[in-house]
Structure formats: structure tokens, C-alpha cells
A and B are shown apart, each in its own frame.
Chain A
Amino acid sequence: MKQKDVLSSTAPDLTAEAAAWLAQLETGKLSSEDMAAFREWIQRSPRHYAEIRRLAGVSLETNVLAGMAEPLRTAASNRKHLKRIEKPSRGRSFKVPLGVAGMLTACALAVAFYIQQPVTSSTPDEPIHAATEVGQTEEIALQDGSRINLNTDSKLDVAFVKAERSVYLEKGEAFFDVAHDPDRPFTVYAGTHSVTAVGTAFSVRWTDDELIVTVSEGKVVYDDGPPEKAAEGLKTAASKTAKPVAQKTFLAAGERLEISPVSQQEKIQQLPDQTLSRELAWRSGFLDFEDAQLRDVVREMQRYTPMRIEIADEDLAELRFGGVFRIGETDAFFEALELSFDVQVEEAGDGRLILTSAK
């Protein structure tokens, strides 16, 4: 950490210089004068070397952006409306022209999306009501330093009192990055369910009477009962002295709890890191699918569009599908289905979209 502090006082200049040199190295042509100047620069101090070496590592890492080629290409055509299209013939699938202009439209949309500033509550302890429309997301900064990401078609109220931080999720999905405060448990209520934490990160989804809790950091306690119990349960968990009281469920990082609306049965799964980050990609404005059944993908996609998506045949529902899409750009999803997966997308005219196999 000491080194970091030292760096941060001088970092802006050093980083700028290192970045400029690195960009020149990446061009690939260094004259002998340039080479001599570079040698002089990098040998000025170990920090000079360390900084350019660090940035070169970052540069290597950013190559991962190559994976955006496909989502961008599909977004680039930027169709205003989905039109009835003929069965795609073999070999024409990848003829969609990608000009820089189209690509930039896609970039501009991305900018417009990210520029949204987090909403900050003005006075302390004033209740906050937040809601999002279908296809919209929002970030909320709370006075205690906690942050909430609200996903599509969601509604919640925040009420902080002295002893407790309470959030009522009326519908939809929200991710909570909770500021640590052992004296004020942070509780999210959804229907009769509650999820409590003191300082951790987790998401709660409450749609169609189905509850899904996913923990990305720390641990939380789930309770299907009055709030006080949940808070007590957490203390029990923290002290690790008593056994967990019946009815309470403890969830650790990487775990997901699902409560079925019908049976009310609890199902807990350990999620691999990759799955976890995919499922929380919506916070960055993306939907990320990998090798998922089209049935599940459509169910997820449905949350972000007012159109009703229907899969016409059973075989198609089982198609394995993957891709990254921006929230609010559902057209790109349908286009990918048509172009890469031979699925025909037809608009029925009454707000329904029918997916059939094009084969």
C-alpha cells in the first residue's frame, strides 16, 4: 500500500508518460532517436519501468474487448423496427455491413446509457421511492454509502431508521452493495420474505411471486417471517455461538437461494464465479448468456421488452444459445437469433413476436 500512495502523488504524469510511450511502442515503428529516448526514459527509475510494465499488462487485458465484435455488429445495423423477414438463405448471414458509422451509433447508445448519473438522496433519512420502466435500469446512492442498482420493471422504497436500514422491494430485481455497519442491519423485504446483511453485496429478485437471492460477497440471512427475527439471526450468525434458529437460512458468497412460488420450497445452489458475474451483468447494462436454453433466455429477455415473445415449437425452446446484449437493445437479440441461429422472428401485429425454426 505504501508504494501505491507514493505513486498516486506523482501518478498522473508518470502514467501519462508511460501510456504515451506504450502507444508508440504498439505502433511498432521506433526510429533510432526514439529508441534512445525510450531507453533514457525507462531507465530513469524502477517506477518508470514498473508503470509502463503495468500499463502493458492492462493493454493486454483490454484485448478481451475483441469479444464485443459480435454484439456490436448486430447492434450496428440498428433497426428501428423488426420487420417480417424472409427465411435467411445460406451464406448471406454475415453480409450485414459494418461501417464505422454504424459502430459509432452503437457506441453513442452505450455512452447515452452510461452517462446516467446515480441518484443521490438529498436529506438524510428521507424515504426514497424508486421505480424503473421495462428496459430501464437505475443506480441509487444512499446516504450511508450503500448503493442500489435497480433492474428493469422494478419498484422499491428505502426507509432508514436509527436501528435499521430497510428496503421494501415491491417488484422486480435489485442489487445491493451494502456499506458495513454492524449496528444497523440492512434488510430487504419482498412479500413475506426478508434478507438481512450488515455489510455485503447481494441481489434480490422478486418477480411473479418467485424469490431469488444471489450473494456475491459476504453473507446474508434469509427469513420468511417478521423482520426482528432476521436481525437476531444475523447476530447469531456473526457470533457463531448458537445454532441457526429454524426457518432461517444463511447464504454465503456465491450462493443462490430460490423460493418457488408454488411449493414455497427453498433451493440453494453454489454458483461458479463465471455464472455469478453473468447473472449480475445487468448492473453494467448488459445481459449475458452462455449455453443457455432458448426457453430460459426468452423468459429473461421478456423482462426487458413490452413485446410478448413466444416460442412456436418445443424443439426450438431447447436450442442452446449464447451472447452478450445491451439492455434496451432487444432488436440485436432477435437479429442474432435470425443470423446466427437460423431462427425466424415474426411480428404478429398484436404486440407478439413469434419465434419459429427457419429450417
Chain B
Amino acid sequence: MSSDISGRKRKGTGGIFSVFREQEAGLRRFLRRISPSSSDIDDITQETILRALQAEREREILQPKAYLYTIARNVVRDSLDKKSRSVIDFIEDFAPETVSSNEPLVEDQVDGRQRMLLFWEAVATLPEQCQQVFVLKKVYGYSHAEISKELGISVSTTEKHVAAGLRRCSEFLDKRSVRFGKESESASLQG
């Protein structure tokens, strides 16, 4: 990974930071669109450039613009995960003493991209409105209140669709685990 032999022109001191400066407005628009709930667009933008600078120290970034957007998406993903984990923490406070809490999370067990496509297959089989709700929630990070407003439905209807979407994803996950010969793993998740 030596830059000497790449023969590529090093981008002065600016590097990814100058690309960030050029792209900042567009990046903010992009973030606002995929994550309208983020009152903290500033934080996400900040986090994006920090991660990009960090990455640039380790290796040369060939497509800085595309790279910035990828990082921005990951930051949004992380904020979705943070919310999910806080719900998990809340639930785990109710753990019966007989249940061990150190079960592996499902996420460790199947490759990320494969999971994304699997869930996408699941979403594609949902009825129309349910699909709308689930996509707004999971792909674009809308809160339930924002979904209700966007689609003109009640929060309880939104919840109903979210629950249905989740069950469908869960079914697909079970089915796929069995198909890939991982019965033991999927069974252990039921415990």
C-alpha cells in the first residue's frame, strides 16, 4: 500500500477535507433526506468527516466523494442501532433470572450484505402500506411519529405495520437459517 509506487498524485494537504468542504452542503441535504429525525445533522456531519480523516490516515481514498456518502450512511445506521440497543437494554431489565443474558446477538451470525438482501426480500412481500412504513423506518430512519405524519395514518396503525414487518423479517431469517443448514443456531435463538 505504499504511495510511492502508485504514481498517483497526492492531493496536497487538503485531501479528503477539501472534498468534504466542497461536498458539505450536498452531504447535509443527503443526511436530512435519509434521516429527517436527526436534529443532530451537525453531529453526523462532524462524525462523518472525523471518520473519513481517520481512514485517510490509514490508506489512500480513491473515490473521496462516494466514500464520504458511504460513511454518512454508516453514521446514520449507527444512530439507528443506538436506538435499537436502548430498547434492548430496556427489555433486558426484565430478564428472568433463569435466562442467561450472554446469548450471541443474531447480527453476528450472518454476513451483512446477505442479511440486507434477505430483509429486502422480506420487505418486498409485505402489503403496500406496511411496506411503506417499514421502508421509511428502516431504510430512511423515520421515527414512528414522522411516519404517521408523512403517510397520514395514526401512530397505532404505524405500530401495527412495524410489528407486521418485523415478524416477516423474522420469518425470513428463520427460513434462511434453516436453508443454510444453521438449524442449531436459529434454534438457540428461540431459547
**B38 touches A (CB below 8 Å):** no
Stretch binding the partner chain, chosen from B9-17, B50-58, B87-95: B87-95
Q: Which of B83, B121, B190 contacts A50 (CB 8 A)?
A: B190
Asked if A20 and B160 make an inter-chain contact with CB atoms under 8 angstroms apart, the answer reads: yes
Q: Interface readout for A45-89 with B: 1 if CB under 8 Å, 0 if not?
A: 010011011111111111111111110100000000000000000
Extra contacts, 5 of them, besides A52-B91, A98-B33, A110-B124 (Cβ < 8 A), are A27-B143, A27-B155, A55-B170, A66-B141, A111-B124
Nearest CB of chain A from residue B162's CB, rounded to whole Å: 4
Tell me if B46 counts as interface (CB < 8 A to partner A). no
Q: Can you sample 17 A-B contacts with CB below 8 Å?
A: A23-B158, A26-B83, A57-B189, A58-B106, A63-B138, A64-B77, A65-B135, A66-B80, A69-B34, A69-B73, A91-B25, A110-B123, A114-B124, A277-B114, A321-B63, A340-B69, A341-B63
Report chain B residues within 8 Å CB of A90. 22
**Distance in angstroms between the alpha carbons of A49 and B92 in the assembled complex:** 8
User: A56 and B111: CB pair below 8 A?
Assistant: no
Question: In the complex, A107→B124 CA distance in Å?
Answer: 7
Are A23 and B163 neighbours in the complex by a CB distance under 8 Å?
yes
A positions within 8 Å CB-CB of B: 1, 3-4, 7, 15-16, 19-20, 22-28, 39, 42-43, 46, 49-50, 52-70, 72, 90-91, 93-95, 98, 100, 103-104, 107, 110-111, 113-115, 177, 217, 273-274, 277-278, 281, 284-286, 288, 319-322, 324, 340-342
Q: Is the interface of A mostly helix, strand, loop or mixed?
A: helix
Cross-interface CB contact of A49 among B99, B125, B187, cutoff 8 Å: B99
Q: For A53, give its contact among B29, B88, B123 (CB under 8 Å).
A: B88
Task: Indicate whether A114 sits within 8 Å of B125 (C-beta atoms), given known contacts A46-B99, A56-B88, A63-B84.
Answer: yes
**A90 to B21 Cα, complex, angstroms:** 12
Contact B166 A58 (CB under 8 A): yes
Specify which chain A residues have a CB less than 8 angstroms from the CB of B47 in the assembled complex. Answer: none
Main DSSP-derived SS at the B contact region: helix
Q: Which residues of B contact A20 (CB under 8 A)?
A: 159-160, 163
For B, the interface residue count at a CB cutoff of 8 angstroms equals 86
Interchain CB contact under 8 A, B65 and A340: yes
Q: Judging by beta carbons under 8 Å apart, are B66 and A322 in contact?
A: yes
Structural contact, A25 and B115, CB atoms closer than 8 A: no
Residues of chain B lying within 8 A (CB to CB) of residue A63 = 77, 80-81, 84, 138
Chain B contacts for A15, CB-based, 8 A: 167, 170
Neighbouring B residues of A69 by C-beta, 8 Å: 34, 73, 76, 139-140
Residues of A within 8 A of B22 (CB): 90-91
Q: How far is the CA of A27 from the CA of B146 in the complex (A)?
A: 10
Distance of B10 from chain A, by nearest CB (Å): 17
Q: Does B169 contact A (CB under 8 A)?
A: yes
B84 contact set on A, CB distance < 8 A = 56, 59-60, 63
Contact of B150 among A43, A46, A100 (CB under 8 A): A100
Give the distance to chain A from B32, nearest Cβ to Cβ, in Å.
11
The interface residues of chain A lying within 8 Å CB-to-CB of B105 are 57, 60-61
- Distance in Å: Cβ of B92 to nearest Cβ of chain A: 7
CB <8 Å contact, A27 and B88: no
The answer to whether A65 touches B123 (Cβ under 8 A) is yes
B26 CB contacts on chain A under 8 angstroms:
91, 93-95
Known A50-B99, A91-B25, A284-B117; contact A217-B94, beta-carbon cutoff 8 A: no
B85 at interface, CB cutoff 8 A = yes
Give Cα A321–Cα B65 distance, bound, in whole angstroms: 12
Minimum CB–CB distance from A263 to chain B (whole Å) comes to 29
